[in-house]
């Protein structure tokens, strides 16, 4: 009990002067009986010992005629019996905890029990005359509780030190394992194993990323082929899930594989599917907005039914309208037209994209500000330069540029062509066709049906 006063008997406050001798005797007897009753219900032997002793003290106060001597003897016998048995049981319990200890806390628990015995025994010794010889002998076997407490403390400290060593070793082993795993994860073998694992569970994005890493490190053809196959499957999966943006990126990657792997026209039907996604992107464009087509940025200039007019957003670079000085050069005979509709077209557009570009009848009117210069014959082209009239028509959809760019409208004199200045202002008087400081911004009609 932490506070045994809570269950102590509250005595009658009446002073003994107010009571007769017989009443005092009776009160003391009842008090002794109550302490004896309390002792019978105590679980710890120290508490039993204490309350039996209190009962004896109160009986001794009224034992002047030796009438309670037998009861006092009986209570002493009980007191020493429970003191002895309690010590033995507590000692055996402590020994059991000590012998089965698996942690420092177990040893500390055993130490606590041994210390209970060691601290209680000096003031409450076991008297041989009050217990049986067998019980006394057994109690004497438990006389080393103080030494046992010290032993348990030593074992607890040793166990704590061992646990710290084991913990340190385990931590070091874990760190080494993690470092080894990290180093292994950076090896080609690890990437190959991970790629196979991702491929097996259908995680094609993870698979192609690992195969790509293996190929970049080793140059293995098989790794690159597995990269293409898994990236194509990743695109298919993303498209089915409705993630067209990721599918677009994946199809784009496998539509132009590296040379020498037998897929010069793209992996499987990736170019057709990539082009289909491009057309959807173009179809959803609005006037003046930038859309992507053939891996380039184009600005939506006009929408007419099932076709859209696109103008190159950024100039292709400075190039002469015609490579030679020719007073009779027109759009129809120019080297820039030849380049746009042949070398540039075939080098930058997939066949699937070319079929989407409308063959347009290109009419070139005279310069409205400088009439009289021959504009040339009509042509049928996929790519063409804009005219002065078209710049005025689509002026709001155009944007300022960092360079000037050619028009197909002739300038103020033969051998010159009009152009657009950086601020979108049309320079109708033109420049000599061989000028190499003016850039090219082609336009084209794209079918979206």
Structure tokens that stand for 441 in this block:
């911004």
Q: Residue 341 carries which DSSP code?
A: I
Short-list 96, 100, 115, CA closest to 153: 115
3-class DSSP state of 37: helix
pLDDT of residue 160 exceeding 60, the answer is yes
- The confidence score (pLDDT) of residue 178 equals 83
CA distances to 44, 49, 56, 129, 345 from 73, rounded to whole Å, are 22, 14, 9, 12, 122
CA gap 275, 272 in Å, rounded = 5
CA gap 291, 447 in Å, rounded = 14
- The confidence score (pLDDT) of residue 183 equals 67
Over the stretch 329-353, which tens digit does the pLDDT of each residue have? 999 999 999 999 999 999 999 999 9
Q: Which domains does the chain have, with CATH numbers?
A: 4-154 (no CATH), 188-268 (1.25.40), 290-447 (no CATH)
pLDDT of residue 184 exceeding 90, the answer is no
CA gap 240, 233 in Å, rounded = 11
Over the stretch 357-390, which tens digit does the pLDDT of each residue have? 999 999 999 999 999 999 999 999 999 999 999 9
- The confidence score (pLDDT) of residue 83 equals 87
Tell me the pLDDT of the chain averaged across its residues.
90
pLDDT of residue 25 exceeding 70, the answer is yes
Plot region of 379 (φ>0 → left; ψ -120 to 50 → alpha; else → beta): beta
pLDDT of residue 2 exceeding 50, the answer is no
CA gap 107, 95 in Å, rounded = 10
Over the stretch 108-126, which tens digit does the pLDDT of each residue have? 999 999 999 899 888 889 8
100 phi/psi in degrees, rounded to 5: -105, 10
Q: What is the pTM of this model?
A: 0.61
Pairing of strands 426-432, 296-304: unpaired
- The confidence score (pLDDT) of residue 3 equals 41
pLDDT tier for residue 4 given thresholds of 50, 70 and 90: very low
Q: Output the CA torsion sign for 127, 129, 135, 141.
A: positive
CA gap 339, 382 in Å, rounded = 12
Short-list 396, 360, 354, 353, CA closest to 378: 360
Q: Percentage of the chain surpassing pLDDT 70?
A: 95
pLDDT of residue 10 exceeding 70, the answer is no
């Amino acid at each position: 009990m932490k506070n045994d006063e809570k269950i102590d008997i509250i005595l009658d406050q009446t002073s003994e002067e107010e009571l007769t001798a017989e009443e005092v005797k009776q009160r003391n007897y009842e008090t002794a009986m109550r302490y004896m009753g309390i002792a019978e219900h105590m679980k710890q032997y120290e508490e039993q010992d204490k309350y039996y002793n209190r009962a004896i003290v109160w009986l001794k106060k009224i034992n002047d005629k030796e009438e309670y001597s037998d009861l006092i003897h009986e209570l002493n016998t009980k007191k020493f019996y429970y003191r002895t048995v309690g010590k033995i049981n507590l000692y055996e319990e402590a020994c059991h905890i000590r012998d089965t200890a698996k942690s420092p806390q177990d040893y500390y628990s055993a130490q606590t029990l041994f210390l209970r015995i060691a601290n209680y025994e000096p003031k409450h010794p076991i008297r041989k005359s009050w217990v049986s010889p067998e019980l006394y002998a057994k109690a004497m076997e438990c006389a080393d509780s103080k030494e046992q407490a010290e032993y348990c403390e030593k074992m607890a400290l040793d166990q704590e030190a061992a646990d710290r060593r084991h913990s340190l070793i385990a931590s070091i082993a874990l760190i080494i394992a993690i470092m080894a795993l990290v180093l292994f994860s950076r090896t080609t073998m690890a990437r190959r194993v991970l790629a196979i694992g991702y491929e097996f569970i259908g995680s094609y994005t993870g698979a192609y990323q690992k195969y790509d890493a293996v190929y970049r490190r080793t140059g293995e053809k098989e790794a690159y082929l597995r990269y293409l196959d898994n990236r194509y499957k990743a695109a298919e999966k993303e498209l089915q899930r409705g993630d067209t943006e990721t599918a677009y990126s994946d199809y784009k990657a496998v539509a132009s594989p590296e040379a020498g792997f037998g897929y010069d026209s793209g992996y499987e039907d990736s170019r057709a599917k990539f082009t289909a996604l491009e057309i959807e992107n173009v179809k959803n464009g609005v006037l003046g907005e930038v859309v992507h087509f053939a891996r380039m940025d184009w600005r939506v200039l006009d929408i007419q039914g099932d076709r859209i007019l696109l103008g190159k957003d950024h100039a292709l670079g400075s190039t002469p309208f015609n490579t030679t000085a020719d007073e009779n050069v027109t759009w129809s005979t120019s080297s820039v037209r030849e380049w746009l509709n042949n070398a540039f077209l075939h080098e930058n557009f997939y066949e699937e994209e070319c079929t989407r570009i409308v063959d347009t009848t290109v009419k070139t009117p005279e310069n409205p500000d400088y009439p009289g210069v021959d504009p040339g014959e009509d042509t049928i082209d996929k790519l063409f330069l804009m005219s002065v009239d078209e710049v005025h028509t689509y002026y709001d959809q155009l944007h300022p540029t960092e360079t000037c760019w050619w028009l197909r409208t002739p300038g103020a004199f033969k051998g010159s062509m009009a152009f657009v200045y950086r601020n979108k202002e049309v320079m109708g008087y033109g420049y000599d066709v061989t000028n190499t400081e003016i850039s090219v911004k082609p336009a084209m009609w794209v079918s979206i049906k």
